[in-house]
Structure 1
Amino acid sequence: AYVITASQPERTPLDVKDLVYTTSLENGEPLQQLFFTTLERQYSDLDATSLSHFHWLFLAPSDEGWEMVFMFSAIDAENEVMLPPRDSSQGSVGQAVQRWLTDCKAEAIAVE
């Protein structure tokens, strides 16, 4: 499978305030929500299936930079009904975001 990032800025913010998750920091400020899309193509034999993954990333500022608080993702497969968002904080994309943030804090990646 191959994954690329794409953008769809018109997506509606995910409302999680009534769920178990907190959307406010200890100081009362709301978490920052970032939306992004990844496009995945899976190959089997001669068939290719395209999947759009919609991600809602919730971030909080820290002394060292940004911290991922949690992330939700939903899958939209071609010609199928979009599945509801699920907690994907520990999934492959969530782990990639955490590693990227760690690299940014260590200044291994130039941040503008």
Structure 2
Amino acid sequence: MHCNQVWPAPAGCRRAWIGMMLASSLLLSTGRRAESQPALNLNPRPQTCAPDFQGLVQQMLPALPSITNRIYTRSNLERQYMIIASAPNFEALPLQSRSEPQDPAESEPQQVFFTTRTRRYRNQKVEELQEYHWLFLTRSDTGWRFSMLYSIAGQYPQTNPPSPPRNSSEGAVAAAIRDWLRDCRLTR
């Protein structure tokens, strides 16, 4: 079967057409040959890590879908793919309910909220899920470390109430965050 004989086109043909359109638009927009442009870096590993928490998270979130998808692929549990991770929300919730002061030697966990969208293929159907994550990282002498992750999952678009919060510190998203932080520490 050739790409020009079927509509809608098979996925492989669509990718080829999109690649050709991107290359031709690059050629038309610059007036130069496409290969003279710098290569797009598809490596999600950081070149250098931001020293501050907010900068670090803003570096990590764009790479999170790619790393999470590798973990999904290795697990062979079910076919699902993270599509996107949202911009972070750094508004912290109070963590301490007791009145005693915290030990100053202890690194207080930093927290961030973000959302991910995942597509899952089950029983010849496509399901989209939206997950809300509450991530905790702590700073150590060697860099930032994963502390804990809580998640809430729901359908997208939302038709039923989302699941109750669960500790997802052993899930694929947490593993992807750990991998990214490990790679980040190795670039120091």
Please tell me the TM-score bracket, short chain as reference. 0.7 to 0.9
Listed as ranges, the matches of 1:1-112 within 5 Å are: 1-7=80-86, 9=88, 13=92, 17=96, 27=105, 30-77=108-155, 78-107=158-187
Q: How large is the RMSD of aligned CA atoms in angstroms? A: 2.7
Q: What is the letter of the counterpart of residue 168 of structure 2?
A: S
Pick the structure with more helix per residue: 2
Pick the structure with more strand per residue: 1
Q: Which moved more, 1:40-49 or 1:57-66?
A: 40-49
2:175 & 2:138 partners in 1: Cα distance? Answer: 16
2:153 & 2:93 partners in 1: Cα distance? Answer: 14
1:105 & 1:93 partners in 2: Cα distance? Answer: 18
1:41 & 1:91 partners in 2: Cα distance? Answer: 16
Q: CA deviation at 1:15?
A: 5.9
Q: CA deviation at 1:63?
A: 1.0
SS of equivalent to 2:117: strand
Q: Which runs of 4+ in 1 moved over 3 A?
A: 8-18
In structure 1, the gaps of 5 or more residues are 19-23
Amino-acid identity (%): 36
Q: What is the letter of the counterpart of residue 120 of structure 2?
A: Q
SS of equivalent to 2:115: strand
1:107 & 1:5 partners in 2: Cα distance? Answer: 25
TM-score normalized by structure 2? 0.47
2:136 & 2:143 partners in 1: Cα distance? Answer: 14
Aligned residues: 103
CA, structure 1 residues 55+103, in 2 after alignment: closer, same or farther (shift >3 Å)? same
In structure 2, the gaps of 5 or more residues are 1-79
Any conservation in 1 of the 2:107–2:140 contact (CA below 8 Å)?
A: no
Any conservation in 2 of the 1:37–1:53 contact (CA below 8 Å)?
A: yes
